[in-house]
Amino acid sequence: MRYWLMKSEPTDCSIDDLAELPNQSVAWYGVRNYQARNFMRDQMQVGDGVLFYHSNCKEPGIAGIAQVSSSAYPDATQFDKKSKYFDAKATQETPRWFNVEVQLVKKIAPISIEELKHHPELEHMRTLQRGNRLSITPLDPAEWRFITSRLAKAA
């Protein structure tokens, strides 16, 4: 089992939006970074733990706990000419972009990025490293345990 931090802009899909969706599940579409794509395509497995992170908002931070609920499959937005995620080089035979489904486990009281930075147990967390802008980053199992057992409180 692996653990991940996955960023979503709340104006696109917030933790509350996820809670309202059928099966409380969403396709993690629109990723257009090769490293993040490779994480989904090559490493994510059904059941992996996910910290659902709100980014590009007034108070960035972890808003919920989720899990990977499907294996990777081609991201349909790459084929949609009307989508901002359209990729003219992608074909049905050779898709370039993939997504997984993410399902809500529980909404938590927000844990701000500033709060995360105050804990020496998280000093090596990739999301907190200077210059990191990836929308998907792996978590060390110790980081997952610290956040989910010590910081995550029910909303």
- The CATH number linked to 89 is 3.10.590.10
Residue pair 119/94 in contact (Cβ under 8 Å)? The answer is no
pLDDT at 116 over 70: yes
The domain tally of the chain equals: 1
**Higher model confidence: residue 39 or residue 153?**
39
Q: Which of 84-88, 123-127, 150-154 has the weakest average pLDDT?
A: 150-154
Q: Token match 């899909």: residue? A: 13
Residue 112 or residue 153, greater confidence: 112
Would you place residue 132 in the very low, low, confident or very high pLDDT band (cuts 50, 70, 90)?
Answer: confident
Per DSSP (E only), the strands in 45-145 are 49-54, 61-68, 73-74, 98-99, 101-112, 136-139
Tell me the residue range of the domain where 81 lies: 3-151
User: Is the predicted pLDDT of residue 145 greater than 70, yes or no?
Assistant: yes
- Distance between CA atoms of 131 and 108, rounded to whole angstroms? 27
Average pLDDT, the chain: 95
pLDDT in tens, 16-65: 999 999 999 999 999 999 999 999 999 999 999 999 999 999 999 999 99
Q: Say what the pLDDT of residue 97 is.
A: 98
| pLDDT at res. 133 | 85
DSSP secondary structure letter of residue 58 = S
- Tell me: the pLDDT tens digits for 80-99? 999 999 999 999 999 999 99
- 38: exposed, middle or buried (Cβ count in 10 Å: 0-12, 13-18, 19+): middle
Here the tokens at position 1 are: 């089992």
Residue 36: CB partners within 8 Å, gap ≥ 6?
Answer: 134, 135, 136
Q: What is the pTM of this model?
A: 0.94
Quote the pLDDT of residue 151.
Answer: 87
Segments in the chain forming alpha helices (H): 15-20, 34-38, 113-117, 141-146
Interval 105-127 mean pLDDT: 95
